[in-house]
Amino acid sequence: MSEIAVSALQGAEARGLVTIREMGRQGMVSLRADLGEAARAVARVTGAEMPARRRISTGKDCAVAWMSPDELLILCDADQAGKIAFDLSEALTGQHHLALDISDARAMFSVTGADGAIRDVLAKITPADIGALAVGEMRRTRVQQVAGAIWFQSEGEARVICFRSVARYVFDLMAMSAREGGAVGYH
């Protein structure tokens, strides 16, 4: 394994109906646990409250996304992910859990532009009901042939996460979906 930390696509960017940008190195910690039992530890370590189902809560330096009834995704600075995973494991000693730094296994993209254009671009590549996705709501879904997660950071910005190994595929899908002349105008 290389000691040089680089992102999957080294900040690749595509412009069209929207702007798609690979966000560089992003810290991500996967926590599997009984979320009721883990709530206090999560708040203490991340500074963010336990999110409601399919939501994201934010703290001072971290965001915590609900991924499933027993899984959270903690978004943080890449350099802090290992420490956060360790601190969560320490705080959850005696409880069945897994806290793992998965930063190098994932890629994250920012999709910015007009809200309707973002939704149209994403709706072309996922079966999720993008029109119903509220700001701050996390949605695990498919991005064509691969697993992904999508949420709206604001009305003018969506985020997309995928496995690092398929980052180029997902980026290219979004770039193709966002090409000028391909506007749908549905959302």
Residues 114-142, buried b or exposed e (16+ Cβ, 10 A)? ebbbbbbbbbbbbebebeebeebbbbbbe
**For residue range 77-129, what is the model confidence (pLDDT) as tens digits?**
999 999 999 999 999 999 999 999 999 999 999 999 999 999 999 999 999 99
pLDDT band for position 1 (cuts 50, 70, 90): very low
Q: What CATH superfamily classification does 27-104 receive?
A: Heterotetrameric sarcosine oxidase (3.30.70.1520)
Please list the alpha-helical segments (H only) found in the chain: 35-46, 81-91, 115-123, 167-177
Element (H, E) at 76: strand 71-76
Reported pTM: 0.92
Grouping H, G, I as helix, E, B as strand and the rest as coil, residue 77 is: coil
Strands, sheet with 13-15, edge to edge from the N-terminal-most edge strand: 13-15, 19-22, 106-112, 157-163, 146-154, 138-143
Contact (Cβ atoms closer than 8 angstroms) between residue 101 and residue 82: yes
**For residue range 128-149, what is the model confidence (pLDDT) as tens digits?**
999 999 999 999 999 999 999 9
Instruction: At 166, give phi and psi (nearest 5°).
Output: -115, 15
In the chain, where the domains are located: 13-24+105-177, 27-104
For the domain covering 13-24+105-177, report its CATH number.
Answer: 3.30.1360.120
**For residue range 18-41, what is the model confidence (pLDDT) as tens digits?**
999 999 999 999 999 999 999 999
